[in-house]
Amino acid sequence: MQRLFLFLSVGFGLVAAEPPVDYPLALDDLRVRDPFIHADRETGTYYLYAQTGNRRVNPQPGLGVEVYRSRDLTRWSRPELVFRRPEGFWGGEEIWAPEVHRLGGHYYLFVSFNGRAGGRGTQILRADAPAGPFAVFSAEANTPPDQRCLDGTPWVDPDGTCWLVYCHEWVQIGDGAMRAVRMKPDWSARVGEPIELFRASQAPWVRSLEGGGAAGRTNFVTDGPWLHRTGDGRLVMLWSSFGSGGYTLGQARSEDGYVDGRWMHDPAPLFAGDGGHGMLFRTLDGQLKLALHQPNRGGQERARFFDVAEEGGRLALSPQPRPAGYLFAHMTREDYGRLYYALSTDGLRWQRLNGGRRILGEEYWGHPDICRGHDGRFYLVGNRRPNLDLTLWVSTNLVHWALLKQLRLDVSRVPGYRDNSGDHGAPKIWFDDVQGTYVITWHSSQSRRHPVDTEAYWRGQRTLYMTSTDLETFSEPRRLFSWDLATIDVIVRREGDRYLALLKDEAMPAFDWPTGKSIRVASAPSLSGPWSEPGPRVTPNFREAPTVFPRPDGLGWYLYTEQYPAVQYTVATAPQLEGPWHELHVSSYAVPSDTRHGCVVPVDAACYEALVEAYGEK
């Protein structure tokens, strides 16, 4: 019995190799930049690695690298030191981006230090367990000594080639580079010379960084490479730089699936909410997740986790089911102000519904605009004829509509308006699901119609708006823009952490005003502004009634605008709402020729089937 007890003690000791750990910390208690997660199935533990200075509110030098443990990604242990810089080690106290990989029979810690003559470099350390201790096994940094480098990460190609992929810093070269160098199979030393994979400025979403580097030089940042092989064999790289929304995470793809292949950048970033330096891991139950830090501001950085899916050889965050189709709600050239439907499966080729007859008969009047609201229902905005007060309609399936309410608009207290006698044209409705707020915009003129100068009325148009959280109570009407420019047909959307307004510049085109009667874009940090002055035109002149929606392939946006007077709808595309926009060839889309002023709404399978059942060809 004594020998059996000894055997069981030893056996259970082997299984329970992890010491007892408590988990007193929440994820938001941990200030961490460049978070890295190792999910260890053998112990059922998640390891989060960070440099020791991360615990301080302001970035500080550190002793080395530490690890936090968790069983559920929610509650975390206190930190334990897994690497302390030994005496005589070349690396200084400034430490960046530790990450741990199991390669062969060892665990390898890739971490960047300052302290050498050429600036920062990445060193590879080794241990027999994910909690270390990690030891130095090569005498110098593993990145080239003449390059200022950081954020090294490993990759093994299908042919067995071992690569160290790293950033050659913008501080040294201006336009930051992503480079790779072959490594020995034991990761102890470089083999050959590094190669350049791409420069930061090659990605269309990247913006230059002001300050730092050499005076007068334009700087572009490369940060945090992470490589991932998708289920269909594509090689994807996540990497970070700065975009229009601050620190940003993008993705690139190798054309031939190898590190030394040609890298192509997605036009739109994966994450544009002032967060980045991302990595991917699978949870203990197999869910693919992205880890990054957000926001990118000293003292406030926290690790954030997002579910990720592979879609068409790319990565998508918090993936939503692809729309089953698209509804184009519009009026027609011959029947102004009445509601008609067209349906599409790809957002480009449309089929008129209901045999080309009206929807809602005589009941609806307006320039139709529809959004999906907080409760999953659809809301349609219109006017009480002719273009007077607003009407709101509600539907669960886009087939059966009920009048929700009429809204009396009083603009007499808005500066610049003498009374409430004018029209309130082309109302638009949008639900901001981030703020939980509905936004209704419309245009009203500060000028009366003139019998001779017909443009005076249009030069007086200004965009007004009001908000609501429940469509029961509404804010007072206010001017949307503080600058003084005639605008109509304004739609508001959110992209990343910015709000974008697509608007029609209602001035008449002239030599000194070439943007007249075209679509332009303004941006703001919040719905209430301040709104930037509109940028250059994104369409030719004499375009109006913009409607915009995400492309089905996830590569940006489609923008429909009406070429008038009553000519046709045209389609443009861009990776981001601010552009750059280019028009599609007319052979790539088909809109019924008499379609005028409307909106496009993505629909799920249930709504698509309901529309076909109610209005499709029997």
Among 7-16, 87-96, 279-288, 491-500, which is the least confidently predicted range?
A: 7-16
Same domain, 332 and 283: no
Same domain, 87 and 45: yes
What is the per-residue pLDDT for 5? 30
N- to C-terminal Cα separation, the chain: 82
What is the per-residue pLDDT for 3? 33
**Segment 560-587, tens digit of pLDDT:** 999 987 678 999 999 889 888 999 999 9
Beta-sheet pairing, 106-116 with 95-103: antiparallel
- Report d(CA 154, CA 227) in Å as an integer: 8
What is the per-residue pLDDT for 379? 97
Side-chain half-sphere exposure of 301, counting CA atoms within 13 A: 24
SS3 state at 606: helix
- Report d(CA 598, CA 162) in Å as an integer: 55
Mean local confidence (pLDDT), 255-262: 94
**Segment 292-315, tens digit of pLDDT:** 998 888 778 889 999 998 887 889
Q: How far is CA 350 from CA 305, 341, 359, 521, in A?
A: 39, 10, 17, 27
Residue 411 or residue 152, greater confidence: 152
SS3 state at 417: coil
Burial letters for 433-462: b for 16+ Cβ neighbours within 10 Å, e otherwise?
eeeebbbbbbbbbbbeeeeeeeeebbebbb
Beta-sheet pairing, 402-407 with 95-103: unpaired
CATH number of the domain where residue 242 is located: 2.115.10.20
Same domain, 442 and 520: yes
- Report d(CA 585, CA 133) in Å as an integer: 61
Q: Please, which residues have CB within 8 angstroms of residue 238's CB and are 6 or more apart in sequence?
A: 224, 225, 226, 227, 228, 249, 250, 251, 270, 278, 279, 280, 290, 315
What's the number of domains the chain is made of?
2
Joined tokens for residue 64: 């080395």
Same domain, 258 and 297: yes
**How many other CB atoms are there within 10 angstroms of residue 432's CB atom?**
17
Same domain, 72 and 208: yes
8 A C-beta contact, residue 249 and residue 270: yes
Side-chain half-sphere exposure of 404, counting CA atoms within 13 A: 21
Average pLDDT, rounded, for the chain: 89
Same domain, 421 and 476: yes
What is the per-residue pLDDT for 17? 46
8 A C-beta contact, residue 439 and residue 467: yes
Among 20-29, 204-213, 267-276, which is the least confidently predicted range?
A: 204-213
What is the per-residue pLDDT for 555? 75
Asked whether residue 145 is domain-assigned, the answer is yes
What is the per-residue pLDDT for 16? 37
**Segment 337-388, tens digit of pLDDT:** 999 999 999 999 999 999 999 999 999 999 999 999 988 899 999 988 766 7
Mean local confidence (pLDDT), 54-71: 75
Residue 338 or residue 22, greater confidence: 338
Domain end among 296, 317, 338: 317
Tell which residue, 317, 102, 99, 315, has the closest CA to residue 228: 315
Asked whether residue 607 is domain-assigned, the answer is yes
Q: How far is CA 7 from CA 1, 11, 16, 509, in A?
A: 10, 6, 14, 90
- Report d(CA 207, CA 189) in Å as an integer: 35
**Segment 69-123, tens digit of pLDDT:** 999 999 999 999 999 999 889 888 889 999 999 999 999 999 999 877 668 999 9
* Degrees to nearest 5, angle at CA 255 with 250 and 258: 95
pLDDT above 90 for 11? no
Q: Please give the residue range of the domain that contains residue 298.
A: 28-317
Same domain, 462 and 543: yes
**Segment 498-521, tens digit of pLDDT:** 899 999 999 999 999 999 999 999
Beta-sheet pairing, 402-407 with 390-395: antiparallel
8 A C-beta contact, residue 130 and residue 47: yes
Mean local confidence (pLDDT), 256-285: 92
What is the per-residue pLDDT for 118? 66
**Segment 373-427, tens digit of pLDDT:** 988 899 999 988 766 789 999 999 999 999 999 998 888 889 888 766 668 889 9
Asked whether residue 597 is domain-assigned, the answer is yes
Asked whether residue 20 is domain-assigned, the answer is no
Same domain, 369 and 348: yes
Same domain, 118 and 139: yes
8 A C-beta contact, residue 62 and residue 93: yes
- Is residue 613 very low, low, confident or very high in pLDDT (cuts 50, 70, 90)? very high
Give the containing element (helix H, strand E) for 241: strand 235-243
- Is residue 211 very low, low, confident or very high in pLDDT (cuts 50, 70, 90)? low
Asked whether residue 17 is domain-assigned, the answer is no
pLDDT above 70 for 13? no
**How many other CB atoms are there within 10 angstroms of residue 570's CB atom?**
18
Asked whether residue 424 is domain-assigned, the answer is yes
What is the per-residue pLDDT for 319? 61
Domain end among 278, 298, 317: 317
8 A C-beta contact, residue 257 and residue 235: yes
Same domain, 32 and 143: yes
Asked whether residue 483 is domain-assigned, the answer is yes
Same domain, 298 and 364: no
Asked whether residue 3 is domain-assigned, the answer is no
Domain end among 268, 289, 317: 317
Same domain, 234 and 265: yes
- Is residue 213 very low, low, confident or very high in pLDDT (cuts 50, 70, 90)? low
- Report d(CA 168, CA 149) in Å as an integer: 5
